Chain A
């Protein structure tokens, strides 16, 4: 392991935490309605939005109303984006004169993808989408789907923090405040910084240039910076270009690479602190953060080690040293590619700066496993923390009994209703991944798309369904994704993976809000110390990972063993 690599990783983590702590505090103020610096500008704007939309911002919602509103909002969002895609040919800002996004299953898959914060892209951005679709369709949903995830975790946090309450907040207010106070300001600043580093932002037609060798090349243009920053900040991951953040116009320099990686994790990390503030005990948030960090460092270690060790067969050729540079950008190198891969799949981001298909099997296992765990290692904006809170509930329930009391979290008793919902939230995505990949692996429609034989092909199918169900959106590549089978079933996976978790989570928020709080004392199960952190991490690994261990054994694990034995796929 190189010292400079360790230094880079540490620098990244230190910067990340240093940014997340104040942001966590700031978001706490935003969601509890405390005064912030931006209030003079944003308050009137907020009031105007409510007046135009006819929203009573004073009236809070019970969990059922909150959920229904949430679902209706998403159905409308999908319909709208689907419409824009189909009518693209008639809409402005279309210099390349792209027609409707087709085939139909691709348009639908994309509409679902951007509404569920997945940003699975079965298309190449620069060759399919007009500037209008990119901006009014995709970028808008980059904001809204991110905000929707954050809103859910805030509702859950309120449920845990409140005492015998009927309501968990107002969906419209939470959504509006998330966009206005958190996402927009940071995106404006972030986009400008990216532009300063060379990320493009224009509406000009694509350039046709003559290369040095004399060949003609078309260079895609577009409003990239504005979409780039929310792509990361909202853990969306939908690249403007097909090459995503490996493309020099999206991610030109090591500095932009660092900024973009920070943008991916800063909100998920900050939310753990926001959570601590909201439940009135910052240590509660810190314990969850610590468990996430432990898992993150562990998995990053595996990924980095896998890449550094590389493929012995390539090493024996003596071309580029043992470390694997296939599928990587030279300007990022191994460490930043491994770090990015871990970061992007720890969250539900899915933006990539290197091709995951080319990772060594062991390193490729890490992104896959992180998604399968439910993206709880920091996770997507909002979605990571609420999924982790589901694991917290499971952990508290399983080991909490050992102190001789019925389990409680933050003073709330965990009873059968919460267990039912928590179990569903874990069960539903796991079932979708396994059934989806299982179907793919034994049907022609599934296996025909696979470009690599053997265990690597299995990894590709597993990754496709994990990524979509987990609303990650990163692609392992090596799989022809734009087929009716993968588009339709993938859309279903994304919907189930998103709402199959959110609805139970909101139900937990509702039932927890209504409960009395039990007084803490020396007999109370501690959810703040290092012991809890370890147990939470262990529960995630045991309950989460064991579910997928058989599948993983036949995919990346056996592939790694085969590679070491001299076979590659």
Chain B
């Protein structure tokens, strides 16, 4: 990698990230700080994120919520926990009856208490997951406060409350005003403070036409003025939707979550039958199992661990995206992200640093490289484009040519014009020009010069390698060619190799010609590329992949990206993009950073993995619980069943109690895991499976044996049963 001493390029390299389009370097610094939360590989910071995100306010709110969630009408949505609540009620009832009858109640009461605690733990997990979103929703609500809108009717300006604005209305927004609703800038240009939405304090430019024309209600114009056509009715604005999303108030179960719930309900019914029919079998065997004991057995067997944590896992997944400043419009989109196996990545900003850099001076024959570098440096001194600056830097590095003071040289700078397609400098009678080969050829032709053949072949050579040749001429003499190169980001090749191992194919999308594209594609290590990409070609490419059974993710910002964003299984729209793009995608990246697509996919995978791992763990747990409870249930009738008491639990009561306590505690013990997700590693499916199977499958089989035994020892020591 070329050494570059421009500050923001260095900054972005360090982050393995890209300068954001349309932002100044200060903006970038700030957003880089916020972006960190998503993590470079989505896992490294996992452990710190889970804990760091909760303050005591969220915790205490979650505690209160876990009680209010006991309401059966709320709990009904989580059928497994609903069943636990019913058993808790039943057990409580039987304990109270025993109290009235003056019978020993201590054991039944303890079971009842632990059943209630089981439900509360599950509620707490969900409430905690919701907590962060709720806090964020509150701050968003403050931004939604009522403002006055300057509605335009013809030439008249009328002040009305923003809640009375309707789609299609025109409003004028001046410096200091809040933008009253979502809309499209139709006239003017202004700097806008969007921190309410993005958390980004640096202002952004919004102007009519082009891809930076959309404005969001609740943001504030800092300078100048704009006329806006409102595109959303009050209550349907981006801010409203965002509040709903982060709050999870209207959270709908995702398809996979529904399917998993069906399985959990099925298992619950099966175990309900197994436990219910145990009573007739027990009666036949000449014994009777008490209701609290049967309730304990039932609760231990039904998949309470995953049943209690399922919604928390889903909420936490969306929350992880949100912390990375990506707003998923639905949980379905997060799930789809996990399934994605083709990523369409924009070359500029994602794969390359975004600017071409001068990397080599190729001098014409008879010209010393120093002379070429000197002339190139002079021609670029006043050129503030990144390309121009990179030439100056390269000249300094290679030949130690220091920057010269333009004013002292009495130079006349010739800026780049679309007509001549060159730039340069006139000084002391010298005319230095730099530009594309054909432009310089035309320029020389007018003055009776030509490009010598060895320079022409150098130009072709550079083009073939994927670079951009910039010819430098002084008067009628061609000095040589500057090799401008698209610099591929550091580490991106390794990243793509990782993705490949995970079974994800990367496709580079670029407007470059196929030759250049192929060279960059090879250097970056993408699997495929689409050159001279048009929106139609993109759409066609997505359809082709989908027809072959792939799931495709892409990012986009322009209005013409909208069809492709809508077609893609995961379409991440840049917040800086147009309203149409944001409507079409199913996620919005508030930082407008296209590299994040990779992390979005990883977050989706992590969500699904967490769900699967905890399901496996939950089901595997049952084996040990049987060995605790079944011998305990019937040792009175058949003392021989004591052989099954492999854990050597103290008494039948302590065995049953230990199983119930373990069952409750495991929920709360797994809350951090549910919230931050299982450790994610970019490996192939087989390796991930082996690993997770070992931890959660085999671990789930063994852990409860140890856990129950330990609790039993404690109970025996404390004399609880």
Q: Which residues of A line the B interface, CB within 8 A?
A: 394, 397-407, 411, 414-416, 418-420, 423-424, 426-427, 430-431, 434-435, 437-439, 441-442, 447, 454-455, 457-458, 516-519, 521-526, 529, 531, 535, 538, 542-543, 546-551, 553-555, 557-558, 561-562, 564-565
Q: Which 8 A-B pairs have the closest CB atoms?
A: A523-B503, A401-B612, A404-B605, A423-B266, A438-B277, A519-B549, A402-B612, A561-B640
Task: Report how far A561 CA is from B505 CA in the complex, Å.
Answer: 58
**Residues from chain A with Cβ under 8 Å of B696 in the complex:** 402
Can you list, as one digit per residue, whether each of B241-274 has a CB less than 8 Å from chain A (1) or not (0)?
0000000000000011011101101110111011
Show 27 residue pairs from A and B whose CB-CB distance is below 8 angstroms, ordered by the A residue: A398-B619, A399-B689, A401-B612, A406-B256, A406-B338, A407-B256, A416-B262, A418-B259, A427-B266, A438-B279, A441-B283, A447-B284, A458-B281, A518-B550, A519-B549, A529-B686, A531-B690, A535-B693, A543-B619, A546-B622, A547-B270, A548-B274, A550-B274, A550-B281, A553-B641, A554-B281, A558-B634
Number of interface residues of B (CB under 8 A): 76
The residue in chain A whose Cβ has the minimal distance to the Cβ of B631 is A553
- For the complex formed, measure the closest distance between the CB of B611 and the CB atoms of chain A, giving whole angstroms: 5
Indicate if the CB atoms of A416 and B284 lie closer than 8 Å. no
Given contacts A523-B685, A546-B301, A554-B285, 9 further A-B contacts (CB under 8 A): A401-B612, A404-B608, A426-B270, A517-B549, A521-B341, A531-B690, A547-B273, A550-B274, A558-B638
Indicate if the CB atoms of B693 and A402 lie closer than 8 Å. yes
Indicate if the CB atoms of B640 and A562 lie closer than 8 Å. yes
Q: Which residues B360-407 have CB closer than 8 A to chain A? A: none
Q: Of the candidates A418, A521, A525, A551, which one forms a contact with B281 in the assembled complex, judged by CB atoms under 8 Å apart?
A: A551
Task: Report how far A394 CA is from B688 CA in the complex, Å.
Answer: 19
Indicate if the CB atoms of B608 and A401 lie closer than 8 Å. yes
- For the complex formed, measure the closest distance between the CB of B623 and the CB atoms of chain A, giving whole angstroms: 7
Indicate if the CB atoms of A406 and B608 lie closer than 8 Å. yes
Indicate if the CB atoms of A401 and B503 lie closer than 8 Å. no
**Residues from chain B with Cβ under 8 Å of A434 in the complex:** 273-274, 276-277
Can you list, as one digit per residue, whether each of B86-117 has a CB less than 8 Å from chain A (1) or not (0)?
00000000000000000000000000000000
Indicate if the CB atoms of A561 and B638 lie closer than 8 Å. yes
**Residues from chain B with Cβ under 8 Å of A519 in the complex:** 341, 548-550
Given A447-B284, A523-B502, also A553-B634 (CB < 8 A): yes
- For the complex formed, measure the closest distance between the CB of A270 and the CB atoms of chain B, giving whole angstroms: 29
Q: Of the candidates A402, A431, A438, which one forms a contact with B280 in the assembled complex, judged by CB atoms under 8 Å apart?
A: A438
Q: Of the candidates B267, B275, B630, B692, which one forms a contact with A402 in the assembled complex, judged by CB atoms under 8 Å apart?
A: B692
Indicate if the CB atoms of A458 and B612 lie closer than 8 Å. no
The residue in chain A whose Cβ has the minimal distance to the Cβ of B685 is A403
Indicate if the CB atoms of B277 and A403 lie closer than 8 Å. no
Indicate if the CB atoms of B630 and A550 lie closer than 8 Å. yes
Q: Which residues B625-643 have CB closer than 8 A to chain A? A: 626, 630, 633-634, 638, 640-641, 643
Indicate if the CB atoms of B684 and A399 lie closer than 8 Å. no
The residue in chain A whose Cβ has the minimal distance to the Cβ of B549 is A519
**Residues from chain A with Cβ under 8 Å of B640 in the complex:** 558, 561-562, 564-565
Given A394-B263, A405-B338, also A430-B273 (CB < 8 A): yes
Indicate if the CB atoms of A523 and B341 lie closer than 8 Å. yes
Indicate if the CB atoms of B612 and A415 lie closer than 8 Å. no
Residue B613 at the chain A interface, CB threshold 8 Å: yes
Indicate if the CB atoms of B686 and A531 lie closer than 8 Å. yes
**Residues from chain B with Cβ under 8 Å of A416 in the complex:** 255, 258-259, 262
Indicate if the CB atoms of B284 and A441 lie closer than 8 Å. yes
- For the complex formed, measure the closest distance between the CB of A445 and the CB atoms of chain B, giving whole angstroms: 13
- For the complex formed, measure the closest distance between the CB of A568 and the CB atoms of chain B, giving whole angstroms: 13
CB < 8 Å A-B pair total:
220
Task: Report how far A447 CA is from B267 CA in the complex, Å.
Answer: 30
Indicate if the CB atoms of A397 and B503 lie closer than 8 Å. no
Can you list, as one digit per residue, whether each of B486-520 has a CB less than 8 Å from chain A (1) or not (0)?
00000000000000111111000000000000000
Indicate if the CB atoms of A525 and B619 lie closer than 8 Å. no
Task: Report how far A538 CA is from B619 CA in the complex, Å.
Answer: 11
- For the complex formed, measure the closest distance between the CB of A174 and the CB atoms of chain B, giving whole angstroms: 28
Task: Report how far A311 CA is from B110 CA in the complex, Å.
Answer: 43
- For the complex formed, measure the closest distance between the CB of B485 and the CB atoms of chain A, giving whole angstroms: 32
Indicate if the CB atoms of B277 and A437 lie closer than 8 Å. yes
Q: Of the candidates A447, A455, A526, which one forms a contact with B685 in the assembled complex, judged by CB atoms under 8 Å apart?
A: A526
Indicate if the CB atoms of B641 and A402 lie closer than 8 Å. no
Q: Of the candidates B270, B277, B549, B633, which one forms a contact with A518 in the assembled complex, judged by CB atoms under 8 Å apart?
A: B549
Task: Report how far A405 CA is from B641 CA in the complex, Å.
Answer: 43
Q: Of the candidates B262, B273, B338, B503, which one forms a contact with A420 in the assembled complex, judged by CB atoms under 8 Å apart?
A: B262
Task: Report how far A561 CA is from B639 CA in the complex, Å.
Answer: 10
**Residues from chain A with Cβ under 8 Å of B680 in the complex:** 404
Residue B652 at the chain A interface, CB threshold 8 Å: no
**Residues from chain B with Cβ under 8 Å of A394 in the complex:** 263
**Residues from chain B with Cβ under 8 Å of A441 in the complex:** 280-281, 283-284
Indicate if the CB atoms of A521 and B634 lie closer than 8 Å. no
Q: Of the candidates A435, A535, A543, A553, which one forms a contact with B277 in the assembled complex, judged by CB atoms under 8 Å apart?
A: A435
**Residues from chain A with Cβ under 8 Å of B275 in the complex:** 550
**Residues from chain A with Cβ under 8 Å of B338 in the complex:** 404-406
**Residues from chain B with Cβ under 8 Å of A399 in the complex:** 612, 616, 689, 693, 697
Q: Of the candidates B262, B280, B611, B697, which one forms a contact with A401 in the assembled complex, judged by CB atoms under 8 Å apart?
A: B611
- For the complex formed, measure the closest distance between the CB of A444 and the CB atoms of chain B, giving whole angstroms: 12
Residue B609 at the chain A interface, CB threshold 8 Å: yes
Task: Report how far A543 CA is from B612 CA in the complex, Å.
Answer: 16
Indicate if the CB atoms of A522 and B684 lie closer than 8 Å. yes
Task: Report how far A401 CA is from B502 CA in the complex, Å.
Answer: 14
**Residues from chain B with Cβ under 8 Å of A550 in the complex:** 274-275, 278, 281, 297, 626, 630, 633
The residue in chain B whose Cβ has the minimal distance to the Cβ of A517 is B549
For A430, A531, A554, A557, the residue with the greatest tally of chain B CB atoms inside 10 Å of its CB is: A554
Task: Report how far A197 CA is from B297 CA in the complex, Å.
Answer: 55
Residue B339 at the chain A interface, CB threshold 8 Å: yes
Given A399-B616, A561-B643, also A516-B689 (CB < 8 A): no
Residue B606 at the chain A interface, CB threshold 8 Å: yes
Given A394-B263, A516-B549, also A554-B612 (CB < 8 A): no
